[in-house]
Amino acid sequence: MKLILIVILIALPFTVMAQHSIGLQVNYTKFKDTDFFDVSTKNFVDDTDVGYGIYYIYQSTDLLRVKTGYIDHGEFAFNVDGNNFHGESSSIYVAWAPNYEINSNLDLTFGLGYSKNELKFKSNKDDESGLFTTIGFNYQYQDKYIFGMEAGSISGVVGDIDPIWLALNVEYMF
Protein backbone atom coordinates (compact mmCIF):
# COMPACT_ATOMS: atom_id res chain seq x y z
CA MET A 1 0.00 0.00 0.00
CA LYS A 2 2.84 2.42 0.85
CA LEU A 3 4.49 1.66 -2.48
CA ILE A 4 1.31 2.52 -4.38
CA LEU A 5 0.97 5.78 -2.44
CA ILE A 6 4.60 6.71 -3.19
CA VAL A 7 4.15 5.99 -6.91
CA ILE A 8 0.98 8.13 -6.99
CA LEU A 9 2.71 11.00 -5.17
CA ILE A 10 5.64 10.88 -7.57
CA ALA A 11 3.44 10.66 -10.69
CA LEU A 12 0.92 13.31 -9.59
CA PRO A 13 2.92 16.39 -10.63
CA PHE A 14 3.47 14.85 -14.05
CA THR A 15 -0.24 14.36 -14.77
CA VAL A 16 -2.49 16.68 -12.77
CA MET A 17 -0.37 19.82 -12.99
CA ALA A 18 0.87 19.18 -16.51
CA GLN A 19 0.22 21.64 -19.31
CA HIS A 20 -0.59 20.54 -22.82
CA SER A 21 -0.48 22.59 -25.99
CA ILE A 22 -0.87 22.09 -29.69
CA GLY A 23 0.77 24.30 -32.24
CA LEU A 24 1.08 25.21 -35.87
CA GLN A 25 4.12 26.66 -37.58
CA VAL A 26 5.04 28.18 -40.91
CA ASN A 27 8.69 27.67 -41.73
CA TYR A 28 11.14 29.03 -44.27
CA THR A 29 13.62 26.22 -44.99
CA LYS A 30 17.07 26.31 -46.54
CA PHE A 31 18.52 22.99 -47.64
CA LYS A 32 22.22 22.55 -47.06
CA ASP A 33 24.55 19.98 -48.63
CA THR A 34 26.94 18.84 -45.91
CA ASP A 35 29.06 16.62 -48.22
CA PHE A 36 29.86 14.52 -45.18
CA PHE A 37 29.16 11.08 -46.66
CA ASP A 38 28.88 11.99 -50.35
CA VAL A 39 31.73 12.15 -52.81
CA SER A 40 29.66 14.21 -55.27
CA THR A 41 28.86 17.87 -54.80
CA LYS A 42 25.27 18.98 -55.26
CA ASN A 43 24.79 22.28 -57.08
CA PHE A 44 21.45 23.50 -55.77
CA VAL A 45 19.14 25.03 -58.34
CA ASP A 46 16.48 25.72 -55.67
CA ASP A 47 17.59 25.37 -52.06
CA THR A 48 14.78 27.23 -50.19
CA ASP A 49 11.06 26.72 -49.70
CA VAL A 50 8.19 27.54 -47.37
CA GLY A 51 6.70 24.67 -45.37
CA TYR A 52 4.51 24.01 -42.36
CA GLY A 53 4.43 22.01 -39.17
CA ILE A 54 2.11 20.78 -36.46
CA TYR A 55 3.19 19.78 -32.96
CA TYR A 56 2.14 18.79 -29.45
CA ILE A 57 3.88 19.80 -26.21
CA TYR A 58 3.62 18.11 -22.82
CA GLN A 59 5.07 20.14 -19.94
CA SER A 60 5.10 19.37 -16.23
CA THR A 61 7.93 21.80 -15.36
CA ASP A 62 10.18 24.16 -17.31
CA LEU A 63 12.79 21.39 -17.57
CA LEU A 64 10.41 18.45 -18.06
CA ARG A 65 8.94 19.45 -21.38
CA VAL A 66 8.56 17.19 -24.43
CA LYS A 67 7.70 18.30 -27.96
CA THR A 68 6.65 15.97 -30.76
CA GLY A 69 5.47 16.84 -34.23
CA TYR A 70 5.63 16.80 -38.00
CA ILE A 71 7.40 19.29 -40.29
CA ASP A 72 6.99 19.55 -44.06
CA HIS A 73 10.18 21.34 -45.11
CA GLY A 74 9.08 21.81 -48.71
CA GLU A 75 10.77 21.09 -52.02
CA PHE A 76 14.28 21.52 -53.38
CA ALA A 77 16.17 20.91 -56.63
CA PHE A 78 19.84 20.26 -57.38
CA ASN A 79 22.16 19.17 -60.15
CA VAL A 80 24.85 16.47 -59.93
CA ASP A 81 27.07 15.84 -62.96
CA GLY A 82 24.46 17.30 -65.34
CA ASN A 83 21.54 15.33 -63.87
CA ASN A 84 18.68 17.29 -62.28
CA PHE A 85 16.98 16.03 -59.13
CA HIS A 86 13.80 17.39 -57.52
CA GLY A 87 12.80 16.31 -54.05
CA GLU A 88 10.57 16.92 -51.05
CA SER A 89 11.59 16.74 -47.41
CA SER A 90 9.58 16.06 -44.24
CA SER A 91 10.32 14.95 -40.68
CA ILE A 92 8.58 13.60 -37.61
CA TYR A 93 10.35 14.22 -34.32
CA VAL A 94 10.35 13.91 -30.56
CA ALA A 95 12.52 16.26 -28.50
CA TRP A 96 13.32 17.33 -24.99
CA ALA A 97 12.29 20.98 -25.12
CA PRO A 98 13.05 22.90 -21.91
CA ASN A 99 12.29 26.58 -21.63
CA TYR A 100 13.82 29.40 -19.60
CA GLU A 101 11.52 32.12 -18.33
CA ILE A 102 12.83 35.59 -19.17
CA ASN A 103 9.77 37.32 -17.68
CA SER A 104 6.16 36.37 -16.99
CA ASN A 105 5.23 36.40 -20.69
CA LEU A 106 8.50 35.65 -22.53
CA ASP A 107 10.41 32.34 -22.61
CA LEU A 108 13.61 31.21 -24.29
CA THR A 109 13.05 27.69 -25.68
CA PHE A 110 15.38 24.90 -26.71
CA GLY A 111 14.92 21.56 -28.42
CA LEU A 112 17.15 18.51 -28.64
CA GLY A 113 15.90 15.20 -29.93
CA TYR A 114 15.44 12.49 -32.51
CA SER A 115 13.87 12.86 -35.93
CA LYS A 116 12.82 10.45 -38.64
CA ASN A 117 13.36 12.16 -41.97
CA GLU A 118 11.98 11.39 -45.38
CA LEU A 119 13.25 12.55 -48.76
CA LYS A 120 10.99 11.84 -51.73
CA PHE A 121 12.28 11.84 -55.27
CA LYS A 122 10.36 10.87 -58.42
CA SER A 123 11.92 7.43 -58.54
CA ASN A 124 12.40 6.59 -54.87
CA LYS A 125 11.93 7.53 -51.22
CA ASP A 126 14.68 7.50 -48.58
CA ASP A 127 14.25 7.47 -44.79
CA GLU A 128 16.89 8.19 -42.19
CA SER A 129 17.24 9.32 -38.59
CA GLY A 130 18.72 12.65 -37.60
CA LEU A 131 19.53 14.97 -34.73
CA PHE A 132 16.78 17.57 -34.17
CA THR A 133 17.82 20.92 -32.61
CA THR A 134 15.96 24.20 -32.10
CA ILE A 135 16.24 27.49 -30.25
CA GLY A 136 13.57 30.16 -30.07
CA PHE A 137 11.37 32.58 -28.15
CA ASN A 138 7.75 32.23 -27.04
CA TYR A 139 5.45 35.06 -26.01
CA GLN A 140 2.40 34.07 -23.96
CA TYR A 141 -0.71 36.12 -24.72
CA GLN A 142 -3.43 35.86 -22.07
CA ASP A 143 -3.63 32.36 -20.57
CA LYS A 144 -4.16 30.15 -23.60
CA TYR A 145 -2.20 31.52 -26.58
CA ILE A 146 1.51 31.49 -27.33
CA PHE A 147 3.21 33.16 -30.29
CA GLY A 148 6.78 32.25 -31.07
CA MET A 149 9.72 32.16 -33.41
CA GLU A 150 12.26 29.35 -33.67
CA ALA A 151 15.35 28.46 -35.63
CA GLY A 152 16.08 24.79 -36.12
CA SER A 153 18.03 22.18 -37.99
CA ILE A 154 18.12 18.47 -38.56
CA SER A 155 21.48 16.89 -39.27
CA GLY A 156 22.16 13.47 -40.69
CA VAL A 157 19.43 13.50 -43.32
CA VAL A 158 19.62 11.19 -46.32
CA GLY A 159 22.11 12.22 -48.99
CA ASP A 160 23.58 14.84 -46.67
CA ILE A 161 20.80 17.30 -47.45
CA ASP A 162 20.07 18.90 -44.09
CA PRO A 163 17.10 21.24 -43.61
CA ILE A 164 17.68 24.45 -41.63
CA TRP A 165 14.61 26.58 -40.91
CA LEU A 166 13.21 29.72 -39.34
CA ALA A 167 9.60 29.35 -38.18
CA LEU A 168 6.73 31.40 -36.80
CA ASN A 169 4.59 29.45 -34.33
CA VAL A 170 1.19 29.78 -32.71
CA GLU A 171 0.12 27.49 -29.84
CA TYR A 172 -3.02 26.85 -27.89
CA MET A 173 -2.63 25.65 -24.29
CA PHE A 174 -5.23 23.43 -22.64
Domains, in order of start, for the chain: 19-173 (2.40.160.20)
For 71-108, the pLDDT digits (tens) are: 999 988 877 777 777 888 899 999 999 999 999 999 99
For 123-172, the pLDDT digits (tens) are: 777 788 889 999 999 999 998 999 999 999 998 755 567 889 999 999 99
What is residue 39's predicted lDDT score, i.e. its pLDDT?
46
Cβ partners under 8 Å of residue 4, min gap 6: none
Minimal CA–CA distance to 51: which of 29, 21, 80? Answer: 29
What is residue 10's predicted lDDT score, i.e. its pLDDT?
57
Quote the DSSP letter at residue 41.
Answer: P
pTM of the predicted model over 0.85? no
Cβ atoms within 10 Å of 15's Cβ, excluding its own: 9
